[in-house]
């Protein structure tokens, strides 16, 4: 993209952000508020950044929100500050890398609240900023960003509370993980086609892709094998999350009315947080907005879709 193209893209982005800023000023009508103060939402990795903002905004809208983090001291401090604002929040320590921690979390939610209405899978890591593209921590990135999401979904689906509105799962993802984006996509056309065709999607395909990538990282052949060129390990992890979101949407679609679970993913944009080295172009508050909008949508809920800037985008 040349200078003119970048300038036009920036102009469009700024215009859309201004539109969203105006939309955020419009309060939800009573007929749109399917939730109540009894609605329980949990946000992983919500002690800072985008996760914190999603948790805060959901609580501002009147939901009861469970803040989670690996560091319980920091997490409890965050909950204390939110309670001082008059918000309904609780805390549970959670490490998405630890199966015991996840099972403990699910049991705690079930025993204390009788289940969960909304899960936002936000916890994630990225060790590259700027033009860096190291894969030194690729295994941790994949294990946190993809397998962590899988572990959470598998643990939480059995405790999602029945509702005529449907329980909701939202996976925080990235445009960097688009299978058929104009830039930063995998070169393997067969893999791209398989990832984009619902009938080809399977856990074996998605898990096999990330394990193949990690194997190539270990033997030093990943550079020449056509993986995304920018933040490669992070991009591969989000490519897997996007595909898994669609796979789970298909599996969950057979549930009867009253037991539906709707699952989607969204890209918050390039957000000014610690993960980006504070180099983003939108604030955490702005980045969280679309995620909150997706899980609070009323009427017939979407499922298996990808959103950014309050619009559906392609995978």
Contacts of 249 (CB under 8 A, 6+ apart): 262, 263, 264, 303, 304, 305
Report the half-sphere exposure of 151 (CA within 13 A, side-chain side). Answer: 21
Instruction: For residue 132, count CB atoms less than 10 angstroms from its CB and return exposed for 0-12, middle for 13-18, buried for 19 or more.
Output: exposed
State the number of CA atoms in the 13 A half-sphere of 5 facing the CB: 2
Q: Which residues pair with 271 in a beta bridge?
A: 282
CA distances (Å), origin 24, targets 207, 231, 288, 293: 38, 31, 12, 9
Distance CA 54, CA 288 (A): 5
Catalytic (active site) residue 137: no
Contact 288, 53 (CB under 8 A): yes
* CA–CA dist 246, 197 (Å, integer): 10
How many Å apart are CA 71 and CA 201, to the nearest integer? 35
Q: Which of 52, 234, 244, 262 is catalytic?
A: 234
CB 156 within 8 A of CB 116: yes
Contacts of 161 (CB under 8 A, 6+ apart): 40, 114, 115, 116, 117, 167
58 CB-near residues (< 8 Å, 6+ apart):
41, 43, 65, 118, 292, 295, 296
Dihedrals phi, psi of 76, to nearest 5 degrees: -70, -35
Catalytic residue numbers read 234
């Amino acid at each position: 993209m040349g200078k003119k193209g970048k300038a036009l893209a920036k102009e469009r982005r700024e215009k859309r952000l201004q539109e969203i800023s105006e939309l955020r000023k419009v309060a939800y009508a009573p007929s749109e508020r399917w939730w109540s103060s009894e609605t329980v939402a949990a946000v992983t990795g919500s002690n800072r950044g985008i996760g914190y903002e999603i948790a805060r905004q959901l609580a501002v809208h009147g939901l009861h929100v469970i803040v989670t983090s690996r560091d319980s001291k920091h997490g409890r401090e965050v909950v204390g500050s939110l309670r001082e604002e008059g918000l309904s929040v609780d805390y549970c320590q959670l490490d998405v890398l630890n199966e015991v921690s996840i099972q403990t979390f699910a049991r705690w939610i079930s025993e204390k609240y009788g289940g969960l209405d909304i899960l936002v899978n936000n916890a994630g890591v990225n060790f590259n900023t700027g033009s860096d593209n190291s894969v030194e921590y690729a295994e941790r990135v994949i294990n946190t960003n993809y397998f962590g999401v899988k572990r959470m979904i598998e643990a939480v689906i059995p405790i999602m509370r029945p509702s005529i509105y449907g329980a909701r799962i939202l996976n925080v993802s990235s445009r960097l993980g688009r299978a058929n984006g104009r830039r930063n996509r995998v070169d393997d056309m067969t893999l791209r086609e398989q990832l984009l065709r619902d009938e080809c999607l399977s856990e074996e395909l998605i898990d096999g892709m990330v394990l193949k990538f990690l194997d190539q990282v270990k033997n030093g052949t990943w550079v020449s094998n056509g993986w995304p060129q920018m933040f490669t390990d992070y991009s591969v992890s989000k490519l897997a999350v996007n595909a898994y979101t669609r796979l789970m949407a298909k599996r969950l679609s057979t549930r009867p009315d009253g037991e539906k679970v709707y699952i989607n993913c969204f890209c918050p944009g390039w957000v000014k947080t610690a993960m980006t080295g504070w180099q983003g172009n939108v604030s955490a508050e702005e980045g969280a907005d679309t995620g909150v909008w997706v899980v609070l949508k009323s009427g017939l809920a979407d499922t298996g879709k990808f959103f950014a800037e309050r619009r559906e985008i392609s995978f």
